[in-house]
Structure 1
Amino acid sequence: MDIFGGTKRKRAQRFLGVTAAASVMALVSTSAFGADTVTLTLMTQSEIRSAMQDAAPLQAKSKLLGYPAQPLQAQADWVDKIIPRSSVLSELPSLGVAPSNGSYIWRELSYDSKILLGYGLYDHEPVYEEAATYCARNYNNCAFVGGLDLNYAPYPAKFIGENMWGQGPGSTMSYQTSSSVTQTTTQSTGWSVKLTIGSGVVPGFDINRSTTNSYAQLTGSAQNYQFTVPSGKMGRIEARSNGGWYSGYIAVKVNATRSGAEGTTLIPARVLVNSDKVPNTFSVFAADSTAP
């Protein structure tokens, strides 16, 4: 049994045959540059979801080192429903961001990325800094721990190409997808992905790699695809990120460099994290636009 419900055998039985073959080809083909054309089979949304769950599964909990790429705002009361605070705190010592004095500062009501660095030596006024700025200089003092949040956003995020109606016995659609993947900073688990489908650039996305992801990150990819749309159907190409949204806390540890400054601030946030099971950041499918 996995976090999505059902056994792997039962899920595999739901898309045996050409559907499974199409999903595997799509996942493999985005991992390398090539001029050969991959032929896809039109799939329903439920078939695509099943294929993604088997080929690019997501862990129930994810851990990142450093400040994550493009975290989204989250409320602490929502995050606490996804992952218990005790589960977050239990991971901090292994990530090196647990305070030696046991002082934790929780951001309770809203997303607040500023952290307390300490107090002025003469006026004793508090000194604050943006967490992202601080973590850029102190990578090893920052981390993220979160739980997979299927209630926040559908798994996985998708980027849609053009629609086309099938005519006559069937119409063939041909596309090329290309992407560039760059690290957000020199010390970061986050990667920025720019994606082109056919002649159009779709919205890019930032995705993170967990501490348990051992794959070497790609620098980019390009691939040609084609698929047939039967008469009376509508089809389109879809690229889907191989990741899911995690709700949790960004932990920022401040050492005792100034009096009263030592402690770890925990900031509620949502972060997109890549699957540990695939090296590439997205997969490509031919979607049946007339089916749910």
Structure 2
Amino acid sequence: MAKFLITGANGQVGYCLTKQLQDKHEILAVDRDELDITDQSAVQNTVENFRPDVIINAAAHTAVDRAETEIELSEAINVKGSQYLAEAAKNVGAAILHISTDYVFDGQRKGKYKETDATDPQGVYGKTKLAGEQATAKANEKFIVLRTAWVFGEHGNNFVKTMLRLAKTRDTLGVVADQIGGPTYAGDIAAALIQIAEKIIAGEEVQYGIYHFTGEPYVSWCDFAKAIFDEAVSQNVLEKAPFVNAITTADYPTPAKRPANSCLDLTKIQQVFGIQPSDWKKALKNIQAYAE
């Protein structure tokens, strides 16, 4: 039985990691109340005392719009916190698995983004997440960065829950149609990270570095919303679907710029680890759980 330290345990992915690991391995699952990852000595003490085999960093400042003004907090959590965890992992010989984002790219290219493509984050969130990737890699050569996008799950706040909530009180909804990406089920992200971690623990030769993992097929937010409503109506979660009006990014201005293209190339993780894309349509079959 291996030892896992999971940060961000109350987040969407952290929750799934804790659930999936609790009967298989010894885990220490912490959220900000139990461990402030921006406190270097607290991180060092926790890691020294627990001595994990793997640290999975699922903690992040993910409020994309608030990050534009909460710059210091974003840097503290996304950069310094990541660095402290990676350093502490190295000190005890542990690997560090780190969750990152499509926001490290500018979102303007045609086609899918590969792990080797040039990064060019457009906002504070993307910039701090990229700096966190770099700090992690610099501090610990036994690192995996898993970039993902459009995360949803039964636990926490996400697009699926927001759509279901709005659908109960509105007949028409305007949803952005000119941003494309791969909705990704949090439980599948957790499973992918665990699969990689277990290879490391087993002593298999692992190709450390950056990997992309999202759901397929790629869709717009507008098409994703329609799929959510179709599933909800078919399972009687909603009596009827609201009319979805396709709008543009310009119609819905936000403090932080959103990527027009969030499509990540998933070839590498399939070839190296045999991990298949997240099946978001299958994950929506459990639509009852998102409506509770």
Do the two structures share a fold, i.e. TM-score over 0.5? Answer: no
Higher strand fraction: Structure 1 or Structure 2? Answer: 1
Higher helix fraction: Structure 1 or Structure 2? Answer: 2
TM-score (norm 1): 0.23
Larger Rg computed on CA atoms: 1
Greater relative CO (CA pairs within 8 A, separation 6+): 1
